[in-house]
């Protein structure tokens, strides 16, 4: 059996991972589960899956969780707290695979720790790679960790690469990557109406069931911008070789265009258990629980070029990766702050891109030569973004 640690087990990816793992109890042993504040959800998962460790990041909530565990049938579970607890379970000798599913910058340190420890890293946290970029990929190469993408698009690209492909390798015969996007809930909304979009409307994704932050990112298409940056790093391609394609049916999850004219596409229903099962089972395949794709139900598939006037966050993401250095970190941090402000109804939907662009203009381009430089850029971008938002209110 392989030991698995799930960072962010109460989120949608974590829940889907546990669903897949439970279908194959002889293959995976759940070693550690972690959550930020959802102690009720984590406690139920502990009852169901009996991990050896549980981590609650929020120290106040951790005390509540400890009491729940102490007075239960799973009192033997060791409870850890804070970011240090996340890093500790990520590098346990009994852990073979780490599902990195914590949303946002909070997932960087434990995911990087897992990579440095040579674990199989199942990467669902795109922000960790966007922030640390080459530092993360260097850690993977030096430790000989296996890095497997979980985002449906990156997992699709990975599956369409040549047999035996490892992330970080350059494939000269792959001419370009066609990175698909649903276009979110506002793909056809008149531009003048976007200013009045509410948080409830923005989180109502037409195809995928995701958390609030990721759903807003999908609505602005920053999610696709971050995925484009991630694709550049995972597949060793420049941004001009990554073409974003709007595909509202979300049936083709991405494609690879080869120099001989062949285009390989990975298809399936929009269910995150498919890429999770692919990564868990490698190099084999096993049942995921997802419904089989009935191609006759699809009937048609549409493809469009994205409108950068409608989706300015996409333009900013290309600017960030082309500038390099700390700019992807700045982009990500400013976006996290702006999305949080929008969800709190402090700014308008259309202000998200304005905050990010203004923040990027205030910070000088610097090489991301160390983790300290990256973390300092993240902090500075958050401070600037809060100041920009306070001026808007």
What is the DSSP code string of 50-63?
--SEEEESSHHHHH
How far apart (Å, rounded) are the C-alpha atoms in residues 375 and 359? 16
How far apart (Å, rounded) are the C-alpha atoms in residues 71 and 54? 15
| Distance between first and last Cα of the chain | 54
How far apart (Å, rounded) are the C-alpha atoms in residues 105 and 316? 18
pTM above 0.85, yes or no: yes
Q: How many CB atoms lie within 10 A of CB 341?
A: 22
- Render each residue's pLDDT in the chain as its tens digit; 393 residues: 999 999 999 999 999 999 999 999 999 999 999 999 999 999 999 999 999 999 999 999 999 999 999 999 999 999 999 999 999 999 999 999 999 999 877 889 999 999 999 999 999 988 889 988 889 999 999 999 999 999 999 999 999 999 999 999 999 999 999 999 999 899 999 999 999 999 999 988 666 566 788 889 999 999 999 999 999 999 999 999 999 999 999 999 999 999 999 999 999 999 999 999 999 999 999 999 999 999 999 989 999 999 999 999 999 999 999 999 999 999 999 999 999 999 999 999 999 999 999 999 999 989 999 999 999 999 999 999 999 999 987
Q: Which H or E run contains 232?
A: helix 222-234
Question: According to the model, what pLDDT value does residue 212 have?
Answer: 87
How far apart (Å, rounded) are the C-alpha atoms in residues 51 and 78? 9
How far apart (Å, rounded) are the C-alpha atoms in residues 218 and 202? 8
Domain annotation for the chain: domains and CATH numbers: 2-149 (3.40.50.720), 168-269+299-392 (1.10.1740.10)
Question: According to the model, what pLDDT value does residue 206 have?
Answer: 65
Question: According to the model, what pLDDT value does residue 209 have?
Answer: 60
Nearest in space to 126 (alpha carbons), one of 364, 371, 328:
328
Question: According to the model, what pLDDT value does residue 214 have?
Answer: 86
Q: Among positive and negative, which fits the CA dihedral 298, 303, 309, 312? A: positive
Contact present, 292 and 186 (Cβ < 8 Å): no
């Amino acid at each position: 059996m392989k030991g698995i640690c799930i960072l962010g087990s109460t989120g949608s990816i974590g829940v889907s991972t546990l669903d897949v793992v439970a279908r194959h109890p002889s293959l995976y042993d759940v070693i550690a589960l972690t959550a930020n504040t959802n102690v009720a959800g984590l406690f139920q998962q502990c009852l169901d899956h009996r991990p050896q460790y549980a981590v609650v990041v929020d120290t106040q909530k951790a005390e509540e969780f400890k009491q729940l565990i102490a007075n239960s049938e799973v009192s033997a579970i060791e409870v850890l707290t804070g970011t240090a607890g996340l890093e500790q379970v990520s590098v346990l000798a009994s852990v073979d695979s780490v599902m990195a599913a914590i949303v946002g910058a909070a997932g960087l340190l434990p995911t990087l720790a897992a990579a440095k420890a040579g674990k199989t890293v199942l990467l669902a946290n795109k922000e960790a790679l966007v922030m640390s970029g080459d530092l993360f990929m260097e850690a993977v190469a030096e430790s000989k960790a296996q890095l497997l993408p979980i985002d449906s698009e990156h997992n699709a690209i990975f599956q369409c690469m040549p047999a035996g492909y490892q992330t970080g390798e350059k494939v000269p015969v792959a001419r370009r990557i066609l990175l698909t996007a649903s276009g979110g809930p506002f793909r056809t909304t008149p531009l003048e109406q976007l200013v009045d979009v509410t948080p409830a409307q923005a989180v109502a994704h037409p195809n995928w069931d995701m958390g609030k932050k990721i759903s807003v990112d999908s609505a602005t298409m920053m999610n696709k911008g971050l995925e484009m940056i991630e694709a550049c790093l995972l597949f060793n391609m420049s941004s001009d070789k990554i073409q974003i394609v709007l595909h509202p049916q979300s049936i083709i999850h991405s494609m690879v265009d080869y120099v001989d004219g062949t285009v390989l596409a990975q298809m399936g229903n929009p269910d995150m258990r498919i890429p999770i099962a692919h990564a868990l089972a490698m190099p084999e395949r096993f049942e995921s629980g997802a419904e089989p794709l009935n191609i006759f139900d699809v009937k048609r598939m549409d493809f469009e070029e994205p409108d950068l006037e409608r989706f300015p966050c996409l333009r900013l993401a290309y600017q960030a990766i082309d500038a390099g250095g700390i700019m992807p970190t700045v982009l990500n941090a400013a976006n996290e702050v702006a999305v949080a402000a929008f969800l709190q109804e402090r700014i308008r939907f259309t202000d998200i891109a304005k905050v990010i662009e203004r923040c990027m203009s205030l910070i000088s381009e610097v090489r991301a030569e160390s983790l300290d430089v990256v973390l300092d850029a993240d902090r500075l971008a958050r401070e600037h973004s809060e100041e920009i938002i306070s001026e808007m209110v």
